[in-house]
Amino acid sequence: MSISWNDDLSVNVQKIDEQHKELINKINELFDACKEGKGGTAINDIVKFLEKYVVFHFSTEEQYMQVYNYPDIETHRKEHKYFLETFNKIKEDHLSKNEMLLATFKLNDLLIKWLINHIRKTDKAIGDFLRNIKT
Residues near Fe ion, by CB under 5 A: 61, 123
Measured in whole angstroms, the distance separating CA 41 from the mean position of its chain's CA atoms is: 21
Buried-state track 40-58, b at ≥16 Cβ within 10 A, e below 16: eebbbebbeebeeebeebb
Query: In whole angstroms, how close is the CB of 4 to Fe ion at the nearest point?
Result: 20
- Closer residue to Fe ion (CB): 83 or 105: 83
Contact at 8 Å (CB) between 116 and 79? Answer: no
Nearest residue (CB) to Fe ion, 17 versus 123 = 123
Residue 12 sits at φ, ψ, to 5 deg, of: 65, 25
Question: What's the gap between Cα 25 and its chain centre?
Answer: 11
C-beta of 113: minimal distance to Fe ion in Å? 15
- The least CB distance from residue 122 to Fe ion, in Å, is 5
At closest approach, how far in Å is the CB of 89 from Fe ion?
A: 19
